[in-house]
Amino acid sequence: MSVLAVRDLSASYHKNKVLYDVDFEINQGSLTGIVGPNGAGKSTLLKVMLDLHPKLSGSVVFFGKNLSQTKTRIGYVPQRGSVDWDFPTNALDVVLMGLYGKIGWFKWPSKKDKALAMASLEKMGMADYANRQISQLSGGQQQRVFLARALVQDADLYFMDEPLVGVDAATESAIMETLKQLKENGKTVMVVHHDLLTVEEYFDHVMLLNKTIVKHGRTDETFTKENVQATYGGALRWMKEA
Amino acid sequence: MTYTAWILLTASLVGLSCGIIGVFLILRRMAMMADAISHTVLLGIVTAYLITRELSGVHMLVGAIIAGLLTAVLVQWFHSRGVQQDASIGVVFTTLFAIGVILIATQVGNVHLDVQHALMGEITFLPWNTIHLPVIGDIPKATLMLIVVFLVVLAFIIAFYKEWKITTFDAGLAASLGIPVVLMHYVFMTLVSITTVASFDAVGAIMVVAMLITPAAAAYLWTDRLSVMLVLSGAFGVISAIGGYYLAVWIDTSISGSMAFSTGILFLVSFIFSPNHGLMSRVVKPYTTTE
């Protein structure tokens, strides 16, 4: 069943076209890696779909509806570097932010909300750091807090922008374990990913992107030498040869 | 109330309102916007005067809000078309301010409105310009306006506390949750504008920047919690305002200048002695570990 249908999407940054003719569907329960060279428009694709960056053309349909009707069913994890980690707040508070949309206007987070946030931190192995100021967390711990915040949203469709960048090995496996659990629970996840070596291990679907979709499909069929080279250009040395 | 009491109350309200607004200015990395708006509200005030021929509170507030929003919109517009953010701010506010200066010089003539006053403020004369209210009695107009603005600012910050927090920390997530990030930005610019214009009479356009930025920057050094930072910043604003007044009386100098100077001293003390970020913290606790 298709949970996301994108048709003829295009977008630009300061008159430079960064995405064109993007056309794809995502099925429920899939775990898709979005892979492509720097400047391929991977992050932009997520932002355009979520209306965080204007689109020039095209349509995006979530669960057969438009974005504004389905916001509570969508979770977004921005790049870790996109926020100011010196902000005066602690880990638990950041996770609570994932619930702000559901809590609604003029209301404060309840005890139940805090318990949910705490449980989510615990899932990511971060319960001991709940009251730690966020600048005192390591890169991996900060990313776990972001993941905990996504989990507490209890969404059906997740978009994650480079969640594995700059994290330690333990965090990387913890995050991948979490993503697999999400998938097993019928959730759908799209992840911007940069490490070609782990694509086959981590994702059942892959989207090869370079301003437009070069290839998109099941990883075992799509992640081939020819397709990856077509995405990255001739410069790439195929890692399996080495 | 005595003359001194009115001045202290007025100055404290400036410190309180500016201190609270300043926290979000700093955390949103918009200190330069405060500088910009503190100047462009002059154009708003002058324009409001030229249209209504009155220098009353409501007209000034409306003029300032329009000028402040115009500044924010123009800065954003130039920036979205490829002009650097800081260059965009610099171009927009100096131009709008210059128009204000030209209008004062050519159109306004012999009114209680001049560039010197707009830049430096004159809190000394405020207690004599009063308005009569039922129950309360005579109250200086500037003080009344500051009370109203302070209550508005406080109401907005408390009512939308979690929305301010999330749009400041992670605008991307906020937008994906359906929180109107752009609207919140312009509401915030409106709050900055009314705070600035209300503080205008007391401390002037240049000193209001000191009151907006410095207490908040000092508070940031003392705490890891947003709520505490807000309270501290407001308190630092009040301390600077009151301390500045007595400093001015003592050495017989400009009140607004002394107030701004006091914020600088408070910041310096914070910078040296704050527990986490201060210079002394590196010297004093070498044996404690952070892990």
Contact A15, A42 (CB under 8 A): no
Which residues from chain B sit within 8 angstroms of residue A78, using beta carbons?
Answer: 170, 172-173
pLDDT of residue B141: 86
- DSSP track, B209-276: HHHHHHHHHHHHTT-S-HHHHHHHHHHHHHHHHHHHHHHHHHHT--HHHHHHHHHHHHHHHHHHH-TT
DSSP character at residue A207: E
Whether A79 shows a pLDDT value over 50: the answer reads yes
**pLDDT reading at B286 higher than 60:** no
How many angstroms separate the Cα of A228 from the Cα of each of A174, A205, A231, A236? 27, 14, 5, 8
Q: How confident is the model at residue B111 (pLDDT cuts 50, 70, 90)?
A: low
Helix (H, G, I), strand (E, B) or coil at A20: strand
What residue segments make up the domains of chain A, in order of their start? 2-241
**B291 pLDDT more than 50:** no
What's the pLDDT band for A242 if we cut at 50, 70, 90? very low
B131 at the A interface (CB within 8 A)? no
Angle of helix B31-52 versus helix B3-27 axis, rounded to 10: 130
The answer on pLDDT for A143 being more than 60 is yes
pLDDT of residue B288: 46
Give the C-alpha separation, A147 to B150, whole Å. 38
pLDDT in tens, B244-264: 999 999 999 888 889 999 999
* Average pLDDT over all residues of chain B: 88
The C-alpha atoms of residue B120 and residue B255 are separated, in whole angstroms, by 10
**pLDDT grade for B290, boundaries at 50, 70 and 90:** very low
For residue B150, the one-letter residue type is F
Identify the pLDDT of residue A31: 97
| Residue from A183, A229, A242 nearest A33 by CA | A183
pLDDT of B77 higher than 80: yes
Containing B130, the helix (H) or strand (E) segment is: strand B130-133
Residue B281 has a pLDDT of 72
Q: Do B220 and A88 touch (CB under 8 A)?
A: yes
Report the percent of chain A where pLDDT is more than 90. Answer: 87
> Helix or strand or coil: residue B137?
strand
Q: B117 and chain A: CB distance < 8 Å anywhere? A: no
Structure tokens belonging to residue B256? 């607004």
Residues of A engaging B, defined by a Cβ cutoff of 8 Å: 14, 47, 50-52, 68, 71-72, 74-76, 78, 82-84, 87-90, 93-94, 97-98, 100-101, 103, 105-106, 108-109, 133, 136, 149
Structure tokens at A169: 């090995």
Helical ranges in A50-186 per DSSP H: 67-70, 91-97, 100-103, 111-123, 139-152, 169-184
Q: Could you give the C-alpha distances from A129 to A94, A97, B153, in angstroms and in order?
A: 12, 16, 34
Residue B223 forms contact with A (CB below 8 Å): yes
How far apart CA A78 and CA A60 sit, in angstroms, is 19
What CATH number is attached to the domain comprising B151?
A: 1.10.3470.10
Q: Which residue has the higher pLDDT, B108 or B247?
A: B247
Q: What is the pLDDT of residue A32?
A: 97
Instruction: Using the predicted structure, report yes or no on whether residue B24 has a pLDDT greater than 80.
Output: yes
Strand-pair category, A57-62 with A74-77: unpaired
pLDDT at B13: 96
Please tell me which of the candidates A78, A90, A105 has its beta carbon nearest to residue B173.
Answer: A78
Distance CA B291, CA A104 (A): 36
Give SS3 for B78: helix
Task: Name which of A188, A191, A214 is nearest A1 in CA terms.
Answer: A188
Predicted confidence at residue A239, as pLDDT, reads: 55
Radius of gyration of chain B measured on its C-alpha atoms? 19
What average pLDDT does the structure give for chain A? 93
Residue B91 placed within a domain: yes
One-letter-per-residue 3-state SS of B96-143: HHHHHHHHHHHHHCCCCCCHHHHHHCCHHHHHHCEEEECCCEEEEHHH
The verdict on residue B126 lying in a domain is yes
pLDDT mean over B97-111: 82
**Residue B279 lies inside a defined structural domain of this protein:** no
Residues B72-78, mean pLDDT to the nearest whole number: 92
Architecture of domain A2-241: 3-Layer(aba) Sandwich (3.40)
* pLDDT, mean of residues B71-85: 90
CA distance A94 to A71: 19
Nearest by CB to B179, which of A68, A75, A100?
Answer: A100
pLDDT-above-70 percentage for chain A: 96
Classified as helix, coil or strand, B117 is helix
- B267 domain residue, yes or no: yes
Q: Is residue B58 part of a domain?
A: yes
Selected residue with higher pLDDT from B277 and B259? B259
For residue B118, is it within any domain? yes
Number of structural domains in chain B: 1
User: What is the model's pLDDT at position B284?
Assistant: 63
Report pLDDT for B275. Answer: 82
**Is residue B287 in a domain?**
no
| Cα(B7)–Cα(B249) distance, integer angstroms | 12
Cβ atoms of A67 and A50 within 8 Å: the answer is yes
What percent of chain B stands above pLDDT 90? 58
User: A108 vs B169: CB contact, 8 Å cut-off?
Assistant: no
The yes-or-no verdict on residue B115 having pLDDT over 80 is: no
- Residue B99's domain spans which residues? 3-271
Which tens digits make up the pLDDT trace of A64-77? 999 989 999 999 99
Percent of residues in chain A assigned helix, strand, coil, to nearest 5: 40, 25, 30
Neighboring chain A residues of B31 at a CB cutoff of 8 Å: none
B27–A contact, CB cutoff 8 A = yes
The token pair that represents A31 in the structure block: 């775990």
In the predicted structure, residue B74 carries a pLDDT above the cut 60: yes
Lowest mean pLDDT among A118-122, A141-145, B134-138, B222-226: B134-138
A173-184: average pLDDT: 95
Phi and psi of A209, rounded to 5°? -125, 130
B282: confidence class by pLDDT, cuts 50, 70, 90: low
